[in-house]
Structure 1
Amino acid sequence: MEDKLNLDLEDFSSEPFLDELVKEITENDPSLLIGIFVAIAVVIITIVLLKFLLGSKKKRNAVLLVGLCDAGKTLLFSRLLVGKLIQTVTSSKDSKAPYRAKNEKGTTWTLVDIPGHDSLRSRFLEKFMESARAIVFVVDSSMFQKEVKEVAEFLYTLLTDSVLMNNAPTFLIACNKQDINTAKSAKLIQQQLEKELTTLRLTRSAALTSQDGSVRSVLYLGKKGKDFEFSQLPVRVEFLECSARSSDKDADAKIEALEKSLAKL
């Protein structure tokens, strides 16, 4: 065996050497050759899995603007994209466009405006849910007292969806219309939503039917035996105040807090 393996460098690079080496290994220890093939297979499978996982993460580059009708989503959408006040109407279909975050990297997200009508939003959420890197849940702060139950119900649906929670997008609760005198603060909105979600948790069923008729599993909201708090969730939730429309038509919108949060994604 020593004579056969004691070859010149010139022979080392030749195909006959490789054939001879494989033959030598096979004759003396067949299990060694099997081990080599297994090791190579493991490396290949690992590379494929890493590419798949990294590819999946890259696909989650959408920032979804969601909320009830007239919460100001579409106006906020245009403010983020072009920085201008654009007259809008209630959306009946999704709108999307590339949004460049205000950070050093200039990260680009796909900003998606989801219709707020309850008969439409589920269908569009299904379409973009798996690609969501963040969800901007827009709340009309000036009408919150009247809409708190409906806001909580919509938010509950999102926060207990197993597919959405598995992807763990960041939740930015944008308390919009802070320029109006009757607007509630982000802190008060958070406190009232926690109380409403605690009550709602007792009345909701343990399954949710998706658009195709299949049953989607629903997670338990928060911790059992304790009143609900957003800090109990497996995702990051941030409450912030903003105003897509200023009380002064010539003044800039107050969306800096939202832009900073999007820059940190």
Structure 2
Amino acid sequence: TGQMEAESTGGNLGEKVDVEAAGNPLEPYIASLRQQLKEQDPVFLIGVVVALAAVVITIVFLKYFLSSKTVRSAVLLVGLCDSGKTLLFSRLLSGKFKRTQTSITDSSAPYKAKNDKGNTWTVIDLPGHDSLRSQYLEKFKLAARAIVFVVDSAIFQKQVRDVAEFLYILLTDTVISRNAPALLVACNKQDITMAKSAKLIQQQLEKELNTLRVTRSAALSSQDGSVGGTVYLGKKGKDFEFSQLPMKVEFLECSARGSKGEEGGADIENLEKSLAKL
């Protein structure tokens, strides 16, 4: 009887071992791998670990880079107060004339581009008041696929300095320079007789930005020798031109009010065509 119990016990143990081996068929390979790792040179092992770490970091970086590209689907409407941004916002979204007042906060809505792809962008109207501009630009600049800089063409001559200073802040921003969203300078209010042409506005802004670049760079250098987290505007040693910028720049003429007044449609075909190309 004792012998039968022993045989029975031995049989159970054998079955248990067989089950464990069957349950983990990789065990022999793992044991072999452990043995090989023990026999390897530590320097070699460190090299393997470093290589694996480099692969992981690269994958994480690519994932972040690609995702950051895809989230930039905003079209920012920026410019000085009373340049016509909010009416332009309304015309783009509904085509309707709307009486507006100075914005003190942002407004956003989806906009379907007039192209075969039917791309949809989020158009965001940012306040133009000088005490609010930087705050809202900081909030939305990372998402910008395009920046529509609205200029009042009728009184541009009086505002050229202020327009250039706002543009300078935009164009020397590190995030905007790195992401390089399209810059569409919308020379608005072309329905008014005294309105300046897009070509003349571009030429005057290039001259004003060239002067600003000299004075700002000199001021920063005299402070601490650094550029304060901003990028250099254009190319060193050359007069500034918009063609030197890392982003696509286009000057176009439009009229959010339209030549027929409140009852008629807006003259914004040029802007809509440019938005369709984004």
Same topology, TM > 0.5? yes
CA distance in 2, matches of 1:187, 1:115: 26
Q: Which position in structure 2 is the counterpart of 1:16?
A: 27
CA distance in 2, matches of 1:23, 1:153: 66
CA distance in 2, matches of 1:37, 1:202: 50
- The reply on whether 1:183 has 2:172 as its aligned counterpart is no
User: What residue ranges of structure 2 are gaps of 5+ in the alignment?
Assistant: 1-21, 222-226
- The reply on whether 1:26 has 2:34 as its aligned counterpart is no
Q: In 2 relative to 1, CA 120–37 (structure 1 residues): closer, same or farther, beyond 3 Å?
A: closer
Deviation at 1:140, TM superposition (A): 0.8
Query: Which residue identity is paired with 2:138?
Result: E
Contact 2:97 2:263 in 1 (8 A): no
Partner secondary structure for residue 263 of structure 2: coil
Partner secondary structure for residue 206 of structure 1: helix
| 1:17-96 correspondence to structure 2 within 5 Å | 17-23=28-34, 25-26=36-37, 29=40, 39-96=51-108
Query: Which residue identity is paired with 1:263?
Result: A
Deviation at 1:17, TM superposition (A): 4.4
Contact 2:259 2:266 in 1 (8 A): no
Per-residue CA deviations over 1:224-260 (Å, capped at 9, x if unaligned) read 3322111112222111111111121333212121122
Write 1 or 2 for the structure with the bigger share of helix: 2
Per-residue CA deviations over 1:148-207 (Å, capped at 9, x if unaligned) read 111111111211222321222211101111122211111111011111212222222338
Q: Which position in structure 1 is the counterpart of 2:270?
A: 257
Q: Which position in structure 1 is the counterpart of 2:259?
A: 247
Deviation at 1:82, TM superposition (A): 1.4
CA distance in 2, matches of 1:260, 1:206: 40
Query: Which residue identity is paired with 1:22?
Result: L
Contact 1:194 1:229 in 2 (8 A): yes
Which deviates further from its counterpart, 14-23 or 162-171? 14-23
CA distance in 1, matches of 2:61, 2:212: 40
Deviation at 1:118, TM superposition (A): 0.9
Q: Which position in structure 1 is the counterpart of 2:134?
A: 122
- The reply on whether 1:206 has 2:220 as its aligned counterpart is yes
Contact 2:181 2:247 in 1 (8 A): yes
Q: In 2 relative to 1, CA 129–43 (structure 1 residues): closer, same or farther, beyond 3 Å?
A: same
> RMSD of the alignment, in Å?
2.4
Query: Which residue identity is paired with 1:151?
Result: V
| 1:109-258 correspondence to structure 2 within 5 Å | 109-204=121-216, 205-206=219-220, 216-248=228-260, 249-258=262-271
Q: What TM-score do you get using the length of structure 1 for normalisation?
A: 0.83
Identity of aligned residues (%): 65
CA distance in 1, matches of 2:29, 2:76: 57
Q: What TM-score do you get using the length of structure 2 for normalisation?
A: 0.79
Partner secondary structure for residue 177 of structure 2: helix
Partner secondary structure for residue 257 of structure 1: helix
CA distance in 1, matches of 2:158, 2:37: 79
Deviation at 1:216, TM superposition (A): 4.1
CA distance in 2, matches of 1:23, 1:202: 65
CA distance in 1, matches of 2:28, 2:154: 81
Contact 2:220 2:228 in 1 (8 A): no
CA distance in 2, matches of 1:39, 1:110: 41
The number of equivalent residue pairs is 247
CA distance in 2, matches of 1:36, 1:197: 52
CA distance in 2, matches of 1:259, 1:146: 28
Deviation at 1:223, TM superposition (A): 2.3
Query: Which residue identity is paired with 1:98?
Result: P
Which deviates further from its counterpart, 191-200 or 29-38? 29-38
Bigger radius of gyration among the two: 2
Deviation at 1:221, TM superposition (A): 2.0
CA distance in 2, matches of 1:245, 1:145: 20
